[in-house]
Chains A and B, each alone.
Chain A
Amino acid sequence: MPVPAHHRVAMPPPFAQPPYPDDIFAGQTVLVTGGGSGMGLAMAMAFAQGGAQVAVVGRNIDRAQQGAAQIAELGVATHPIACDVRHPAQVAAAFDEAERVLGPVSLLANNAGANFPVLAEDISNNAWNAVTRIAIDGTFLCSTEFARRRIARGEGGAIVINSAQYIWTGFPGDAHSAAAKTAQATMVHKLARDWAGHGIRVNAVAAGFFPHETSNAGRREAGIEALQAMIPAGRTGSIHEFGWLSAMTATPLFAGMTGQVIVQDGGESLRRSLMMPDFIPPRERAEGPWGWR
């Protein structure tokens, strides 16, 4: 069902009009995990629009290279790095390489993640470990590596984490990601407290549906049209507005903000009625665990 024509849908400014000047991150380097595609690439592009140099970290170096090339078109220096954020030595090496090529990393975007619809009983130990540890351990390892380096230099910095809109509700049909994304959100406040005295800020954006080429929703056969009407805002998110909010938390404009989780989901995670559709357990959904296939 399309969004009725008489409904009003709030739209963001176009990509060419970022909410901050093009030198707000001048002289700074951001390291973006999973920055080669999707939401990580959107974060990286937003930092680049503010003049940051970008280290694009990914497990897949080809994808990181493609992303880095795309970001470089905005006129900033970029560098792709292969790294699995679950391994402390690889994380340290990635920071070493980023700092050797681009200079000290003063901004960090934790985006690396994996996600797919699956019934809880069908999640193998490997799958559980992969999804939870990329997000939870990866965010811990990258953030602590970043913080130790900033503290050693006696300089502050800013960290932003890509969380998700389902962190306060559970996500039946996606148990591994439900656990992983909430862990990221709940660690925000403690990391912020641990590092407040060092001038390092930590915030998260709990993002709703931002379909893109590499997202599950983006690959949906029927396209994303049918997703628009299910969201109170009347549309899915534009990926650049997610990138902007993520980068915005790291700007001096939000210098006093830390320990916060900002939900950006067009109201998608909120209850929309007292009466709900008939409950169907995920395993009995003909259209799969997420219920939209």
Chain B
Amino acid sequence: MGWLENRTVRLVGTSPAIATALEAQGARLVDAGDCDILVHVIAPPVDRAAHEMRYEEWRATLDAGLDRRFALARDFAIERRTAGMGGAVIFIGAPEQALGSDHAAAAGALGNLTKTLGVEWARDGIRVNAVLTFAQTPTLGNVVAYLASDYAAYVTGAVIGIGLDD
């Protein structure tokens, strides 16, 4: 019996490790529409010194790493609440200090957003957690599947890493 039997997951972004683990635990991946769980992965931006970064590059990192994540999570939570259902949101990205100042800003903002949304939506039964890591391993997939499952029912607003350098 998998951790995510009968659950649908919308996986935004690319992570074979996460997709494999979610499906191995019985989840069904869906592209859009209603889903029980939202998992959001971003590709790491290029590591560039701030003074050599064009504003468009800066803005693109913040768009992908923060703004679009917030909008998707907000819309997901509204859907779940309207449907009278709980849910889970998991954000995945690189560690805060791993790359340039653009990523540092986006990932830091995302971490505190995670804590905030975790509390705002706690009584909707919607949990929000983040994994900031370099890992693209089976462990990352299993950690995300765990956070998506009822086994993590008491984990919300948590920001965690996986490996030593996270």
Contacts and interface: CB of A to CB of B under 8 A. Distances in A.
Interface of A: 3-4, 7-13, 17, 19, 189, 192-193, 196, 208, 232-234, 237-238, 241-242, 244-245, 248, 253-267, 270-272
B59 to A, nearest CB: 29
A260 B142 contact: no
A248 B3 CA distance: 13
Interface stretch (B44-52, B66-74, B121-129): B121-129
Given A19-B3, A256-B135, A256-B140, A8 B123 contact: yes
Nearest to A206: B158
A262 B162 CA distance: 10
Interface string B132-166: 00010111101100100111111111101111101
A245 B155 contact: yes
Interface string B16-38: 00000000000000000000000
A260 B162 contact: yes
Given A9-B125, A262-B158, 10 more contacts: A8-B123, A12-B154, A192-B164, A245-B152, A248-B146, A254-B139, A260-B160, A266-B122, A267-B156, A270-B116
Contacts of B149: 19
Say whether chain B's binding surface is mostly helix, strand, loop, or mixed. Answer: loop
Contacts of B118: 232, 267, 270
Query: Which of A238, A242, A260, A265: most chain B Cβ within 10 A?
Result: A260
B7 interface: no
Contacts of A13: 150-151
Nearest to A269: B157
A233 B163 contact: no
A11 B157 contact: no
B150 A10 contact: yes
23 contacts: A3-B123, A7-B124, A9-B123, A10-B86, A11-B150, A12-B151, A12-B154, A19-B149, A234-B122, A234-B123, A245-B155, A256-B135, A256-B137, A256-B138, A256-B162, A258-B163, A260-B160, A262-B155, A262-B158, A263-B157, A264-B154, A264-B155, A267-B122
B119 interface: yes
A208 B156 CA distance: 11
User: Which of A11, A19, A238, A271 has the most chain B CB within a 10 Å cutoff?
Assistant: A19
Of all A-B residue pairs in the complex, the 3 with the closest CB atoms, nearest first, are A8-B125, A256-B139, A232-B122
